[in-house]
Amino acid sequence: MLRIKTLLDILCFAAVILGLAPLFPWLDLPVKVIVVTAVGAGIVTEWRQRYWLKGWSATILTLIFFVLYLTQINLSNVVAPAVNLLALLLSIRLLTEKQGRHYLQIFVLALFCLAGSSLLSLGILYFPALILMVFVVTIGLVLLTFYHRDPGLRLKRSAAMTLLKTAAILPLGSLLLMLVLFFVLPRTQYPMWNFLNAQPSAVTGFSEQVRPGTFASNAATKDLAFRAECAQLPPKQLYWRGTVLNSINGASWSRTSPTHKAERVVGGTPVSCTITLPASNKRFLFTLDYPIDLEGIRTQQDGDLVFSARRPLRKGVSYTCRARPAGKLLAPSAAETQQYLKLPDQISPRVRQVAEQIRAQGKSAPERIQLLKEFFRAQQLTYANTDLPGPTAPMDEFLFDKKRGYCEFFASSFGVLLRLCEIPARLVGGYHGGDYNNFGDYYLITEDMAHVWVEALVDGRWERLDPSTLAQNAATGFLNRGDTLSLLRRTRDGLEFLWTQAIITYDLKKQLSVVRSGSKRASSLLSSASIPATSTLIYTAAIVAGLFLFGTAARWGIRQAHLTPQQRLLEKYHKALQRRYQLEQIPATTALLEHARELNDPNCIIFARRYSAILYGKKPLTKAEYAYLSALIQQIQKHTAA
Amino acid sequence: MSKPLERHAEIINVIDTLTGNYLQGKIKALRLSMIALLSDGHLLLEDIPGLGKTTLALALSHALGLSFGRIQCTSDLLPSDITGLSIFDRDQNNFRFIEGPIFNHILLADEINRAMPKTQSAMLEAMEERKVTVEGVSYPLPDPFMVIATQNPTEQIGTYPLPESQLDRFLITSGIGYPPPELEKQIILNGGVRDKILDIKPLLSLDAIHSAKRAVNDIYLDAKLVEYLFAIAEQTRAHRYISAGISTRGAISMATAARAAAYLDGREYVIPEDVKQIAVPVGAHRLILHPEHQSLNKREVMISILDNVKIPMV
Report the alpha-carbon distance of residue A10 to residue A244 in Å, rounded: 57
Span of A168-182, A195-209, A381-395 with lowest mean pLDDT? A195-209
Nearest by Cα to B134 from B85, B95, B99: B85
> E strand or H helix at A92, and its extent?
helix A79-95
What φ, ψ does residue A418 adopt, rounded to 5°?
-60, -45
Parent domain of B183: 1-75+103-218
**Cross-chain residue pair B313–A615, CB shorter than 8 Å:** yes
What's the pLDDT score for residue A221?
Answer: 66
What's the pLDDT score for residue A108?
Answer: 92
Residue A642 has pLDDT above 50, yes or no: no
Q: How many CB atoms lie within 10 A of CB A265?
A: 23
The tens digit of pLDDT for each residue in B134-162 reads 888 888 999 889 998 988 877 778 888 88
Residue B232 has pLDDT above 90, yes or no: yes
**Are A570 and A612 a contacting pair, CB within 8 Å?**
no
Mean pLDDT of B67-75: 89
Residue B261 has pLDDT above 90, yes or no: yes
User: Structural domain tally of chain A?
Assistant: 4
Residues in chain B: 314
Asked which of B179, B195, B218 is the last residue of a domain, the reply is B218
Cis status of the peptide bond prior to B144, with omega within 30 of 0? yes
Give A582 to chain B, closest Cα distance, Å.
21
**Cross-chain residue pair A616–B276, CB shorter than 8 Å:** no
Most confident of A61-65, A204-208, B161-165: A61-65
Report the alpha-carbon distance of residue A204 to residue A416 in Å, rounded: 23
Residue A60 falls inside a structural domain: yes
B223 and B208 inside one domain: no
**Are A370 and A355 a contacting pair, CB within 8 Å?**
no
Q: Hey, is B176 helix, strand or coil? A: coil
B204 and B291 inside one domain: no
Q: Hey, is B94 helix, strand or coil? A: strand
B125 and B44 inside one domain: yes
Residue A53 falls inside a structural domain: yes
B211 and B283 inside one domain: no
**Cross-chain residue pair A617–B220, CB shorter than 8 Å:** yes
Sign of CA dihedral A113, A119, A120, A121: positive
CB-nearest partner of B311 from A590, A617, A618 = A590
**Cross-chain residue pair B267–A615, CB shorter than 8 Å:** no
Residue A581 burial class via C-beta count within 10 angstroms: exposed 0-12, middle 13-18, buried 19 and up: middle
- What is the number of CB-based contacts under 8 A between chain A and chain B? 52
A161 and A274 inside one domain: no
A471 and A613 inside one domain: no
Mean pLDDT of A364-378: 86
Residue B301 has pLDDT above 60, yes or no: yes
What's the pLDDT score for residue A485?
Answer: 58
Q: If you measure CA to CA, which chain A residue comes closest to B228? A: A589
A523 and A595 inside one domain: no
Pairing of strands A442-446, A435-437: antiparallel
Residue B87 falls inside a structural domain: no
The tens digit of pLDDT for each residue in A157-185 reads 888 888 888 888 888 888 888 877 777 66
Residue A166 falls inside a structural domain: yes
Residue A217 falls inside a structural domain: no
Report the alpha-carbon distance of residue B60 to residue A91 in Å, rounded: 86
Cis status of the peptide bond prior to A366, with omega within 30 of 0? no
**Percent of chain B whose predicted confidence (pLDDT) is above 90:** 22
Nearest by Cα to A591 from B218, B232, B282: B232
Task: Give, as one character, the DSSP assignment of residue A149.
Answer: H
Mean pLDDT of A591-610: 86
What does the mean pLDDT of chain B come to? 87
Span of A171-180, A286-295, A516-525, A620-629 with lowest mean pLDDT? A516-525
Q: Is the pLDDT higher at A505 or at A532?
A: A505
B38 and B124 inside one domain: yes
Asked which of B166, B183, B218 is the last residue of a domain, the reply is B218
B194 and B112 inside one domain: yes
**Are B245 and B236 a contacting pair, CB within 8 Å?**
yes
The tens digit of pLDDT for each residue in A218-262 reads 556 667 788 888 888 888 888 888 888 888 887 788 888 777 777
Residue B267 falls inside a structural domain: yes
Residue B83 falls inside a structural domain: no
CATH number at residue B127: 3.40.50.300
Banded model confidence at residue B172, pLDDT cuts 50, 70, 90:
very high
B211 and B262 inside one domain: no
Mean pLDDT of A130-142: 90
The residues, any chain, with a CB within 8 Å of residue A471's CB and separated by 6 or more, are A381, A382, A383, A410, A477, A478
Q: Is the pLDDT higher at B4 or at B187?
A: B187
What's the pLDDT score for residue A203?
Answer: 44
- The strand ranges marked E within A378-513 are 382-383, 404-405, 425-432, 435-437, 442-446, 450-458, 461-465
Residue B88 falls inside a structural domain: no
Give B107 to chain A, closest Cα distance, Å.
34
Span of A398-402, A448-452, A534-538 with lowest mean pLDDT? A534-538
Residue A576 burial class via C-beta count within 10 angstroms: exposed 0-12, middle 13-18, buried 19 and up: buried
B204 and B242 inside one domain: no
Residue A200 has pLDDT above 50, yes or no: no
Asked which of B186, B218, B250 is the last residue of a domain, the reply is B218
CATH number at residue B267: 1.10.8.80
The tens digit of pLDDT for each residue in A304-358 reads 888 888 877 777 788 888 888 888 888 877 657 777 888 888 888 888 888 888 8
The tens digit of pLDDT for each residue in A264-275 reads 888 888 888 888
Banded model confidence at residue A521, pLDDT cuts 50, 70, 90:
very low
Residue A198 has pLDDT above 50, yes or no: no
**Cross-chain residue pair A591–B309, CB shorter than 8 Å:** no
Report the alpha-carbon distance of residue B150 to residue B26 in Å, rounded: 15
Cis status of the peptide bond prior to A290, with omega within 30 of 0? yes
Mean pLDDT of A115-134: 84
Parent domain of A115: 2-184
Mutate to test the interface with B, among A609, A611, A616, A621 (most CBs of B within 10 A): A616
Banded model confidence at residue A529, pLDDT cuts 50, 70, 90:
very low
Residue A112 has pLDDT above 80, yes or no: yes
**Are A111 and A19 a contacting pair, CB within 8 Å?**
yes
B208 and B260 inside one domain: no
Report the alpha-carbon distance of residue B271 to residue B255 in Å, rounded: 11
Q: Is the pLDDT higher at A316 or at A433?
A: A433
CB-nearest partner of A616 from B271, B306, B307 = B271
ipTM tops 0.90 = no
B135 and B67 inside one domain: yes
Give A143 to chain B, closest Cα distance, Å.
29
User: Structural domain tally of chain B?
Assistant: 2
Mutate to test the interface with A, among B5, B267, B273, B303 (most CBs of A within 10 A): B273
B224 and B263 inside one domain: yes
Q: Hey, is B40 helix, strand or coil? A: coil
User: With contacts defined as CB-CB under 8 Å, which chain A residues touch B314?
Assistant: 564, 566-567, 570
A470 and A511 inside one domain: no
Can you name the residues that pair with A153 across neighbouring β-strands? none
Nearest by Cα to A20 from A69, A91, A103, A119: A91
Span of A209-218, A511-520, B188-197 with lowest mean pLDDT? A511-520
Residue A396 falls inside a structural domain: yes
Q: First-to-last CA distance in chain B?
A: 30
What's the pLDDT score for residue A535?
Answer: 59
B287 and B239 inside one domain: yes
A557: alpha, beta or left? (left if phi > 0; alpha if psi -120 to 50): alpha
**Cross-chain residue pair A593–B273, CB shorter than 8 Å:** yes
What φ, ψ does residue B134 adopt, rounded to 5°?
-125, 125
What does the mean pLDDT of chain A come to? 80
